[in-house]
Structures are given as structure tokens and as C-alpha cells.
Amino acid sequence: MIKYYRVVGTKKFAIWSTIIAIPVVAWFFADPNFFLIIKTPDNIPIGILLILVAFTTWLSIHKAAVNDARIEEGLGPIEALPENREKVWSWPNLVYTELFAIIACTAFLVIWAIIFKAPLEEPANPTWAPNPAKAPWYFLGLQEMLVYFDPWMAGVVLPGLIVAGLIAIPYIDTNPKGNGYYTFTERKWAIISFMYGWLVLWIYLIIVGVFFRGPNWTFYGPFEYWDFHKVVAEYNVNLSEFIWIKGLGVSMPKNLVVREIFGIILTLAYVGIIPVWVARATKIGREFYQNMGAIRYYIFMFLFITMMSLPIKMVLRWLFSLKYIVALPEWELNL
């Protein structure tokens, strides 16, 4: 999508994608198990939100492709045209627009409440919990992260780094280009990083948590029946167990540091060596280092490799049933 954004951003691509998607979605809805999950009152708004995410993503790509073509021709972005830079008063223009939006939203919610029943359950019972017990949809990405990380990491550390990273973005990325207009050519790496974090590491996790996690938080395919009696035999192994028991064929050392020394070295190398290597051995790393300076560069790389630790842990879990790279429950440190 990013590599061929000028093709993806055309109206012809959007029209043909919609034409192809309609029969595919109809085929999906013909499956009773798929339709049973989609039609629940909790999931219908999420399906609509996903459609809106797809549309707004395409719209931003479309506008960026148009502006980049104009910039290459020396015309400048559309937003810089005189007719698009006209200033209007907040009263009555903005206030009236907000009023009409509030009225339309209220009417939509009233009609929605009439058509669909509220997904209310019986009063809370401390002796019984729903299965699957799911957080609100906007927290399901974090709940899905609990499958791959320690609760302390998935619930506190990583969300804290996400918030800190969002706050730090204006101070790390000081490129003034792209302010006030859509573009991709002038902001490639910023857009790629954001799109990957937004679509792959957040929207994808929400989709999995909503539509593919069933009873006992077991993974179910899109056309699979959610069987409450399904039991999946999974045994996840720490890296230290892989090396000491399976690799070297010896018992686990009693000393905690010696036991986890391989994971500690691997983690320190991942956090400490990769940023230095990228800055010295790659062209783009050298450009980042020169443009940002040492402090901003290493903060950026720390946030970036922390973000990339999620897909790495996911792939390691899927392929090797690897649980933790560093497992120190005695110190409340599991990575």
C-alpha cells in the first residue's frame, strides 16, 4: 500500500476494490458462524468503524498522491491554493457546523437504539464471569498484548511508552514539511512508522481481540464455531529452557542471572547495539543521526525498537512457542 500509494490512492482503485469487496463480504456473511459473530450488538459498531478506518486511510493516501504529483510539477499542494486558504469566522460558520453535526449524531443514535437492542446482561455476579471476558473494544489491543507479554509489560510499561512516544513526537520529528497539507514524499518515514503502529500494531490487535478470540481467549478462525468445550494444548517455553534443557541438555542453573544470561545478553544487544549499528552501517541511519543529533536519535530508536518488539514476540510465539526471552518472576522482570 505504501510502496504503490499512487496506484492505491486513485479513485479507480477505490471503485474496483469496493466492487470486488462486496461479493467477498456477501460470501463471508453466508457462513453462519461468521454472521453470528458479526451481528452481535457489540460488534456491529466495530465493523462500521473498521470500514471508516479503511476509507479514511485511503482518502489520506489519495490526497497525498494528488499533492505529491502537484509538488513535482511545481504547483504546490491543493491546500495552498488561494481559494482553500480563505479564513472564516468561528461564529456562525464553525458553531453552526458543530450544531448540525450534533443534531445528526443524536438522530443517528436514536435510530440505532430503536433498531438494535442494547447488549445489557444481568447484574454483576462475583461467582460467575463471562467467557470470553473481554475489555471494551478500544482496550482489546492491550488485552491481546497480554498473550505475548508479562502483565506488567503489556498493561503498564508498553502503554506508558506509547503515551510518552506520542508526547515526544513533536520534539523528535522537527521536519516542518507536511504541516497543513497531505504529502507522502516529504514525510516518508514518519508516515510509514505511524501507519505501521496504527494499522498493524493497534487496529490488527483490536480485530483479533474482537472477532478471533473466543471462549478461554482461544484463537478461532473467521468461519470456525466458537466451541466453549474446545481445549488447545499449548506449552510455552522460555528462552532459558530452550538453551539449557533442550539445547545443552543440562538442568537449569540455580543462580538467577546465570539462568537468564543468554536472554539478558540478547536483550541488551537488541536495545544497545542495534541503534549504534544502524547509525553507522546503514545510509538511512546515518541520515537520521545527522539530522536528529545523538540524543533525539537514540530516543527515537529506543521507541522504535520497543514498538518492533511486539511483532517479534508474536512471531516467536507462533513459530517456537517462546514465552519470555528473559524470565525473572523473582524480580518481577519478564521480557
Residue 228, number of CB atoms within 10 A of its CB: 10
Bridge partners (DSSP) of residue 89 are: none
Looking at residue 293, what is its pLDDT?
87
DSSP annotation of 137 = G
Report d(CA 269, CA 193) in Å as an integer.
Answer: 22
What are the residue ranges spanned by the domains of the chain?
91-119, 233-335
Residue 137, number of CB atoms within 10 A of its CB: 17
Q: What amino acid occupies position 38?
A: I
Give the ranges where 73-187 is alpha helix by DSSP (H): 95-115, 140-145, 151-152, 158-172
Model pTM? 0.85
219: left (phi over 0), alpha (psi -120 to 50) or beta: beta
- Residue-wise pLDDT for 183-207, tens only, equals 998 888 888 888 988 998 899 999 9
The answer to whether the bond into 132 is cis (omega within 30° of 0) is yes
Report d(CA 239, CA 325) in Å as an integer.
Answer: 5
Looking at residue 6, what is its pLDDT?
92
Looking at residue 38, what is its pLDDT?
87
Looking at residue 40, what is its pLDDT?
84
Residue 296, Cα to own-chain centre: how many angstroms?
A: 24
Torsion of CA 163, 156, 133, 322, to 10 degrees: 110
Looking at residue 81, what is its pLDDT?
84
Contact 297, 279 (CB under 8 A): yes
Which residues have CB under 8 Å from 279's CB, separation 6+?
285, 286, 288, 289, 297, 301
C-alpha cell at 314: 508474536
Report d(CA 298, CA 99) in Å as an integer.
Answer: 46
Per-residue pLDDT tens digits of the chain, which is 335 residues long: 888 999 999 999 999 999 999 999 999 999 998 998 888 888 888 888 999 999 999 999 999 999 999 999 988 888 888 877 777 888 888 899 999 999 999 999 999 888 887 777 788 888 888 888 888 888 888 899 988 898 888 888 888 888 888 888 888 888 888 888 899 988 888 888 889 889 988 999 999 999 999 888 888 888 888 888 887 777 888 999 989 988 888 888 888 889 999 999 999 999 999 999 999 988 888 988 888 888 999 999 999 899 899 899 999 998 888 999 999 888 888 88
- Residue-wise pLDDT for 66-112, tens only, equals 999 999 998 888 888 887 777 788 888 889 999 999 999 999 999 98
Distances (CA, A) of 10 to 7, 59, 300, 302: 6, 9, 33, 36
Looking at residue 276, what is its pLDDT?
92
